[in-house]
Amino acid sequence: MALTSHVNEGAFAMRRQHDWTALESLVRHAQVHGVKRLTAEEIARLSPLYRDLCADLAAAQAARYSAPLVDSLQALTASAHTIVYGVYARSTSSRSIRFKDAALAFPRAVRRHRTAMTIAFLLFFVPFFAAFFASMHDPSFAFRVASESQLRGLTESYRAGFAGGRESGQGAMMAGFYVNNNVGIALRCFATGIFFGLGSAFYLLSNGLATGAIIGYVTSQGAGDNILTFIVGHSSFELGAIVIAGGAGLALGWSLVSPGEKTRMASLRHAGKDAAVLASGAAAMLFIAASIEAFWSASSAPDVVKRTFGGVALLLVLVYLFLGGRGGADVEEAER
Amino acid sequence: MTGAPLDTDIAIETPEHIVFRHRVAGPARRCVAYFVDICICYGTFGVIAIFVGLLFIGAHAVGDEMSGLAGAGVGVLLLLAFCAEWVYFVAWEGFQGRSPGKRAANLHVVTIEGRPIGFREAALRNVLRAADILPIGYVVGVVTMLCTKRFQRLGDLVAGTMVVIEGRSLVRAQPIVLYPPATAEELAALPMVVRLDPDERAAIELFLRRKQTLGPAREHELAEMLVEPLGRRYDFSRRDPSRVLALLYELAMNAGRGDAPPSSRQSSPPGGPPSWR
């Protein structure tokens, strides 16, 4: 038998309508202009009105009032819930958007995943050096990863040196290319890590092989000095970012393989938090790499300057990744 | 409706112990939204590409000194291609909680706790598109969606998000009004107190709302089915079952006191002093 309320629906709605309308106008205002634009009085009214509405919804459901009333109360509750609790969700998740926090969170996350990073490093650099020495020894090895005509063209352009530099328009074009290509590869390398890390491992291996083979070939053709001068400026950012993106993918995959005491889904979501930091950090590093590669690496600056710059860049990257945000790390761990 | 939950409903309990349901969006609806997004994204890209193409031709016509500008144009184009693939969704969902395509399809991205998403979630779920899109045309994503109860693709699983169909509008549906009003004679033929259980009430309400769209024969037939069990419980004549149902519904709705007791809560008038409770 139905629960009959003491108050019928019409009377209930009439009594409470005033508050509902007030809350609705607040919610609409907050939806359009954001919560921050509400005045102090409006904020103060929002929360009691929302709680009253929750009570009304519960009463309406218990009294089995008609569907349109319950539906509209439910819709209003849902919208108000988003406003009341959404502020909290936003402020916690976009907290790391603040530049300083983000800049410190990234190296901390890298160090937290040092095992994955080491494996990613090996997955990239072992095939890299293997391919490098293989094509140094036998240049035809490189033809397996790139076509002969491509490699010859590449060798020619490196042999020519950088005396001519690059026009600025050309530089902008190459910057676009490097961003599109390299950041795309890094993000794919990260994303496919969800397949138990296999995708990331594949990208790391294949990119390591290809890069090693091409550099080995160009060196074997006698343009080794020039290609070193070219890559030394940006490679610490670029290869570092690829390794970190791959490591993040491996960590993501590992969270599925070995979830520990969590369910696999919960473990994946947990791993996702750090992975987001790592992937966006890697993307930022690649943006830096792309601008160096486009506007500096092929410029007509003297070789000595370029190599010194490259050394300093490598040192900076290493110091940043190994020491950045140290000391505050305990705080970060405790927060988790 | 507040009837039996569909299996695509996800119940979310708020800290106030209120449960409301989100309807999660399936692959079909999300495919439509994605298509709209792709059109917007690459449509814009195409227009700019044509513009840069014209610039390129123009630069060649003028001479070599302009080729730098054209090179920069190509660079911008490549940058835009990158944005179309990786930034578009992250930016829209990070700021607005939904992309224009999702807005068009009435969808919203929320966390599995029903809260709006932030940038981290937006970035994760959209970077993971690269995995969902494999091997071709989001096969992995669709298969994953079909295997999870919230229709989550891999990106949603990692970010802890789901795509829900936007809640009903805040505008309240019109209550059902009995027309013409009950006559004394009609009321006399019916019992004084009518108690309907929730299912009966929902069924009658649904019927009354659909009445206008039915033919008279079908209306009569459906009403007969509803009136029969009620007629057995309350002894009344049923010459016009549809009218009887409307009357019963009206009676049941108005059960209980019509006058509200004075409210225990004092609702502050708008603009008045804030009530700190």
pLDDT at B262 over 60: no
* Range among A5-14, A57-66, A117-126 with highest mean pLDDT value: A117-126
Q: Are residues B40 and B158 in the same domain?
A: yes
Q: How confident is the model at residue B1 (pLDDT cuts 50, 70, 90)?
A: very low
- Model confidence over B6-18: pLDDT tens digits? 567 778 787 778 7
Q: Which residues of A touch B205 (CB under 8 A)?
A: 66-67
Q: Which residues of A touch B201 (CB under 8 A)?
A: 2, 64, 66
State the ipTM, two decimals: 0.77
Q: How confident is the model at residue A110 (pLDDT cuts 50, 70, 90)?
A: confident
Report the DSSP beta bridge partners of residue B25: none
pLDDT at B212 over 70: yes
Map residue A138 onto helix, strand or coil: coil
Interface of B with A in 143-172 (CB under 8 A): 154, 157-160, 167-172
Interface of B with A in 228-257 (CB under 8 A): 253-257
Percent of chain A with pLDDT over 90: 13
| Contact of A51 with A18, CB cutoff 8 Å | no
Q: Are residues B126 and B67 in the same domain?
A: yes
- Model confidence over A196-238: pLDDT tens digits? 989 999 999 999 988 888 888 888 887 777 778 778 888 888 8
Pairing type for strands B9-13 and B19-24 reads antiparallel
- Model confidence over A140-169: pLDDT tens digits? 888 888 777 777 777 777 777 666 666 666
Distance CA A60, CA B99 (A): 35
Residue B70 lies in a domain: yes
Distance CA B153, CA A96 (A): 25
Q: Are residues B21 and B83 in the same domain?
A: yes
Distance CA A284, CA A286 (A): 5
Residue B136 lies in a domain: yes
DSSP B38-63: HHHHHHHHHHHHHHHHHHHHHHHHH-
Residue B158 lies in a domain: yes
Q: Are residues B138 and B40 in the same domain?
A: yes
| C-alpha dist (Å) from residue A296 to A44, A55, A238, A299 | 56, 65, 14, 5
pLDDT at A303 over 70: yes
What does pLDDT average to over chain A?
A: 81
Mutation pick from B23, B82, B276 vs chain A, by most beta carbons of A within 10 Å, is B82
Positive or negative, the Cα torsion across A291, A297, A300, A301?
positive
In sequence order, the 6+-apart residues with CB closer than 8 A to the CB of B33 are B99, B101, B102, B104, B105, B107
Q: Are residues B196 and B242 in the same domain?
A: yes
For residue B201, the number of C-alpha atoms closer than 13 Å in the C-beta half-sphere is: 26
b vs e for B170-201, b when ≥16 Cβ sit within 10 Å of the residue's Cβ?
bebeeebebeeeeeeebeeebeeebebeeebb
More confident residue, B216 or B232: B216
Average pLDDT over residues B221-239: 75
Tell me the two tokens of residue B160.
């802890």
Q: Are residues B122 and B223 in the same domain?
A: no
In sequence order, the 6+-apart residues with CB closer than 8 A to the CB of A24 are A76, B170
pLDDT at A88 over 70: no
Q: Which residues of B touch A263 (CB under 8 A)?
A: none
Map residue B143 onto helix, strand or coil: helix
What is the pLDDT at residue B73?
77
Q: Are residues B24 and B115 in the same domain?
A: yes
What domain range includes position B133? Answer: 9-165
Distance CA B99, CA B113 (A): 20
Q: Are residues B88 and B210 in the same domain?
A: no
Q: Are residues B80 and B159 in the same domain?
A: yes
Q: Report the residue from B20, B123, B267 with minimal CB separation from A19.
A: B267
Residue B146 lies in a domain: yes
pLDDT at B59 over 60: yes
Cβ B120–A275 below 8 Å, yes or no?
no
Q: Does B178 touch chain A (CB under 8 A)?
A: no
Residue found by looking up tokens 């016509």 in the block: B61
Q: Are residues B66 and B192 in the same domain?
A: no
- Minimal Cα–Cα distance from A105 to chain B, Å? 13
| Residue (of A39, A143, A43, A29) closest to A84 by Cα position | A43
Phi and psi based region of residue A89 (left: phi greater than 0; alpha: psi -120 to 50; beta: remaining): alpha
- The dihedrals phi and psi of B162, each to the nearest 5 degrees, come to -145, 160
Average pLDDT over residues B119-124: 87
Distance CA B196, CA A1 (A): 7
Map residue B150 onto helix, strand or coil: coil
Positive or negative, the Cα torsion across A153, A158, A162, A163?
negative
Task: Please tell me the least confidently modeled range out of A13-17, B138-142, B189-193.
Answer: B189-193
For residue A256, the number of C-alpha atoms closer than 13 Å in the C-beta half-sphere is: 15
Q: In total, how many domains does chain B have? A: 2
Q: Report the residue from A89, A171, A195 with minimal CB separation from B118.
A: A89
pLDDT at A331 over 90: no
Q: Are residues B16 and B150 in the same domain?
A: yes
Q: Are residues B20 and B144 in the same domain?
A: yes
Task: Please tell me the least confidently modeled range out of A15-29, A182-196, A206-220, B232-246.
Answer: B232-246
Terminal alpha carbon distance of chain B: 32
